[in-house]
Structure 1
């Protein structure tokens, strides 16, 4: 056993990042480092028990079951055709404007993000639905692709969000408070994206041809046809915020309703049912591996004293809290460009969360800011994950074209981040007014 736990902690941190660089999955790298590190500090007998207690705790947690249910709801909603109907609904009201299909895409991304709660899933779904529509109508490839890559990031900020649920569980904050805190930032995100699109098409009208205005009869017809989307959103979000359902119950009800809608519409086949279950299981398994790995590594980090030492060291520098916050923003921007959102968050929570509390910032507000800045990293060159997802689904679109298209949305995200940091009340007033803070 090492005599200095702090040195062991530093070596463990370096070893974990080395494993990640060597392409070891993040969850496994964290878990392996945590077990070995704990073994060096307290002995390998007690350390190895973590391999039994932490998976057992995670698998038996009702809170973590919410993640699987929301992922399943999103998959069943896609099978039931709700994502396509949501896009049609946005299009009949916005399609006649210059850049209307882009407005509709951003709006549909926000709506579908509220159903599935996943950034990558939202981008992938809208790439299948919206990209062909925009390209067929003569929209610039960069604008069409950029709007989908950026719009996909709304899947993580618009509640219910899988990442917010995970943040709430890992930091023991109210999930409902986090959902309420994300509503206004989510609306601001959509508005700022609309402004970015308006500026782009105003400067370059050829990038977005004007479509025909849908008659009111058509709008009414599409609105009526979209009843399933409205029903699912009202039952899940309305049930949570009104107090009828807990978050766990709302997730289960949402998954059940989405499945019944797919059956009712005769769109559920054995093949796509199994595909939905398989996709849910794969993503849930990936998240659980990261949760278990993060739990083991967090235990090791606490034993080594690294988080407390990090907080003391940064506070000892005498830097203003705002400057520390800006450095964290830069750090997460880089991290978000390299790692998946969930991986980036669970990787850093053991160190950053105590620091945020020590600086006096609200943990619910930080949860929103944390997710926003990591999502910004997901479209930031050179390694924006959403951009690569889109490129993988539309290989004829060069990466340079997609990255060029996301630039206006990056500026919009930076502006949103500045607003949310400058005015924390935009995130906190709603959960406070409803008694969740």
Structure 2
């Protein structure tokens, strides 16, 4: 049996395990371990298992995962998200669809401390959806804005998607974080634009809100200043070269905890809950990293990435055509798989192809994250849609999916702009690191 055939059997076995609801980490670990055993014997498989497990759990760069997750959990438990939402509403609420736009801006701001799509959608959704219902927003606009806004948590640093991509491809996490800033701002503005277009065509979808006096606007700015200062110190510290991403995560988590305790927004029970949730989420991500670390060498040994690259080259599509084929495959996969599964399973396969085509790996990291974001709101899975459904149980799934359609189009526009103008993603990291 050839190496490629063994590799195909290994991939098929992994998808069978996923279909049987085996966790993605265990599915990848089993496929990689037994696949390596079939290729090079028991000793080689055990050696890869032990070495990759040790290197994953002892990696200094992976400390960034629990620290940024802790920062987001404390901010959520302390209720800082309401301050961000109220600040955004004070400035944009008076416009048509202003509450929905405030939800997008609140999601963007909270994404800068959470790094999680689901956490962002849940945290902002619990505050925003009841308010939009009170002002008689259409159910599709209210739920669609929160579901789409939550996806910003996977793009705006500190993004869990970038952390996993950095580990899988051995690219600089600092460069990836910086590469996500301008695309994150671009996508936020496009989401707000989608709201303006939708509410202009259908004024009942998002009526005007109240005009907040200027004094109250600045009062809300002061109220939200603790979390805003954490965002600027941690992310700005990376940009200024003062902190590494790991150091920025530690500083950010410490500052959020200090502000929460001094502001009496968090008691001992809340702190305990935030830490325990951090341990559970971090453990899950660490196990995923271990599984990916065993699956990736197995794929490399089979030669499947190189064979796939040769096959795509023989089609004569060129670099852009091959990229479009890969992105279309991501869109299809996004209909059935969650974001973390997609990134850890696909990147070891497609990354060598992207590099061979001459594309910048940092730029592709941004592209991949946005395409995976699109999958978060694409039926039939659309994990963010299910999250919002849990917050608004009386809204039919079809209504939520209809509500996210304008935002899905906005993502597609962002994708086209990034492909046409790669400097949108590369300007900041190139100006910082050369």
Question: Separation in 2 of the partners of 1:297 and 1:179?
Answer: 25
1:391 is aligned to 2:389: yes
Q: CA RMSD in A?
A: 1.2
From 10, 18, 21, the counterpart of 1:12: 10
Asked if structure 2 preserves the Cα contact closer than 8 Å seen for 1:80 and 1:261, the reply is: no
State the match for 2:37 in structure 1.
39
State the match for 1:381 in structure 2.
379
1:241-260 alignment to 2 at 5 Å?
A: 241-260=239-258
TM-score under structure 2 length normalisation: 0.97
1:157-196 alignment to 2 at 5 Å?
A: 157-196=155-194
State the match for 2:131 in structure 1.
133
Question: Separation in 2 of the partners of 1:42 and 1:178?
Answer: 35
Asked if structure 2 preserves the Cα contact closer than 8 Å seen for 1:109 and 1:154, the reply is: yes
State the match for 1:70 in structure 2.
68
Question: Separation in 2 of the partners of 1:126 and 1:238?
Answer: 23
Question: Separation in 1 of the partners of 2:230 and 2:427?
Answer: 26
From 216, 221, 224, the counterpart of 1:223: 221
- List per-residue Cα deviations over 1:323-357 (Å, max 9, x = no partner): 11111111111222322222211101111000000
Asked if structure 1 preserves the Cα contact closer than 8 Å seen for 2:338 and 2:381, the reply is: no
- List per-residue Cα deviations over 1:76-133 (Å, max 9, x = no partner): 1112221110001101111111111011000000000111011111011111111111
Q: CA deviation at 1:432?
A: 1.5
Question: Separation in 1 of the partners of 2:272 and 2:337?
Answer: 29
Asked if structure 2 preserves the Cα contact closer than 8 Å seen for 1:27 and 1:293, the reply is: yes
Q: CA deviation at 1:420?
A: 0.9
Asked if structure 1 preserves the Cα contact closer than 8 Å seen for 2:168 and 2:348, the reply is: no
Structure 1 runs (4+) greater than 4 angstroms displaced: none
Q: CA deviation at 1:317?
A: 2.5
Query: More displaced, 216-225 or 357-366?
Result: 216-225
- Structure 1 unaligned runs (5+)? none
Q: CA deviation at 1:220?
A: 1.5
From 406, 429, 432, the counterpart of 2:430: 432
Q: CA deviation at 1:430?
A: 2.1
Asked if structure 2 preserves the Cα contact closer than 8 Å seen for 1:123 and 1:148, the reply is: yes
Asked if structure 2 preserves the Cα contact closer than 8 Å seen for 1:64 and 1:166, the reply is: no
State the match for 1:264 in structure 2.
262
Q: CA deviation at 1:318?
A: 2.2
State the match for 1:24 in structure 2.
22
Asked if structure 1 preserves the Cα contact closer than 8 Å seen for 2:33 and 2:294, the reply is: yes
Q: The residue matched to 1:267 in structure 2 has which SS?
A: coil
Aligned residues: 434
1:401 is aligned to 2:399: yes
Q: The residue matched to 2:234 in structure 1 has which SS?
A: helix
State the match for 1:372 in structure 2.
370
From 348, 351, 354, the counterpart of 1:350: 348
Q: The residue matched to 2:399 in structure 1 has which SS?
A: helix
Q: CA deviation at 1:52?
A: 2.2
TM-score under structure 1 length normalisation: 0.97
Q: CA deviation at 1:51?
A: 2.9
- Structure 2 unaligned runs (5+)? none
1:289 is aligned to 2:290: no
State the match for 1:119 in structure 2.
117
State the match for 1:149 in structure 2.
147
- List per-residue Cα deviations over 1:275-334 (Å, max 9, x = no partner): 212221121111111111111011111122222222222222322111111111111112
Q: CA deviation at 1:422?
A: 1.2
